[in-house]
A = this chain, B = another copy of it.
Amino acid sequence: MRQGRMPEQRVRVAVDAMGGDHAPAEIVAGAVAAARDHGLEIVLVGKEPEVRRLLTIHGVDGQVEVVPADQEVRMHEGALSAWRRTRSSVAIGCELVRSGQAQALVSAGSTSAVVAAATRRLGTAPGVLRPAIAVILPTRPSPMVLLDVGATADPSPAMLVQFALLGTAYAGATLGVADPRVGLLSIGAEPEKGNRLARRAHAHLAAAPVRFVGNVEGGDLLAGAADVVVTDGFTGNVVLKSLEGALRFAVTEIRDALTAHPVARLAALPHRGRLRRLASRFDPDTYGGAALLGLSQTVVIVHGAARARAVTNACLLARDLAGTGVVTQPLAELRPAAGQDPPDT
C-alpha cells in the first residue's frame, strides 16, 4: 500500500510563507491558526527573521518550525524565475515534500511559478502528462469540481481526458460523489460545436472510462449540469475569475440597491446577515485552496490575494488530501477511485 493512503499517518504541511500578495503576514497568520486551532503540524518556509518576528507577534515562536529560504519568487514572476531560484521559498518547500520531511505544500505564490517548481521538483504521478488545478465551486444543488483553472494553458485533447480522470477521482474523494458526471466546457451542446481543442477532446472523452455527459456551456456551470467540468487552463482560469467577479459585482450592486434610500435601508436591516453569508460563500477565501492534481506529491495552491482564513483552509485541505493520497495516484489507479468499475478498459 502506498504511504500516502494511510490516514493515520502524521501529515506535516509545508507552507510557502513568502508567496502571495499579503505575504508573509497573512500567510503566517493563517498557518499559525491551522497549527493552533486545528492541531496541524506546520513547517513555514521563508525569510527566517521576518517569519520568526511574525511568530513572536502571534506568541508561538518556537512552537512552529521554520525552514529558512533566502530567495523569493514575486507575484508577477513566472516559471523561469521558479526554475532559476533554487533557494526560493517555493523551491525549498517542494524539496521538503520531495524528501519526505513534509507531506504537502501550500503556496499562495504566482500560480505559474508554483506549478513550474512543483512539476519540476516533485514530478507528475506515473502516467500523467501534465498537472491540472481543480477548484470546488459552491454550486447548487451540489458542489462541482472545475479543472483545469490555470496549470496547463495549452493542453492536448489527451491531457483533457486525463483531467477528466483526475477530476472524477477528486470529486469522488472530496465530494463523495460515487459516479460523477463529467462535462466538457464548450460553446454549444453538440459535439461539433467548440474550438479545435474542444471538438477533438469531445471525441476522446466519449470513448474514455468516465461518465461523460457531453458539452456544458458557460451558463450551465452554476446550474448543476455536471459534477466535474473539464477545460483547458486558460479558459478555466478566465471563467473562474469571471464567475468570482460577477458574484462579487452582484452582491455589491444588491447591497447598494438595498441601501440606496433611508426607508430601503431600514427595510434592509434584517437582510444584512443573509447578504454577508451569500457574499462569503462566493468569496474565494472560503473555498480557498485549489488542489494541484496529477503530481506525485500533494500541492495546494491558494489564490494570490489570500488572507489568513484562506491559508488556514488550504492547510486543512492539504492535510486531508495528503492523508488520502487521492491527488497523487498513478493514472492507472484513478478509475476505481470513482467508486465504479471502469465501463471499458
Contact = CB atoms under 8 A, between A and B. Distances in A.
Interface of A: 76, 78, 111-112, 140, 150, 153-154, 185-190, 192-196, 198, 217-223, 231-235, 237-251, 253-254, 257-258, 260, 263-264, 267-271, 274-275, 277-278, 282
A166 to B, nearest CB: 20
Contacts of A198: 234
**What is the oligomeric copy number?**
2
A217 B189 contact: no
B247 A187 contact: no
A275 B239 CA distance: 25
Contacts of A246: 221-222, 242-243, 246-247, 250
B218 A76 contact: no
A264 B271 contact: yes
A140 to B, nearest CB: 8
Contacts of A257: 271, 274-275, 277-278
Given A219-B241, A238-B239, 14 more contacts: A76-B189, A78-B193, A140-B253, A153-B187, A154-B195, A187-B234, A187-B241, A195-B233, A217-B237, A218-B240, A219-B245, A222-B246, A258-B274, A267-B269
B250 A193 contact: no
A243 to B, nearest CB: 5
Nearest to A254: B254
Nearest to A249: B222
Contacts of A140: 249, 253
Contacts of A278: 250, 253-254, 257
Given A187-B237, A237-B218, A250-B250, A245 B223 contact: yes
Contacts of A277: 257
Interface centre among A233, A246, A254 (most CB of B within 10 A): A246
Contacts of A263: 270
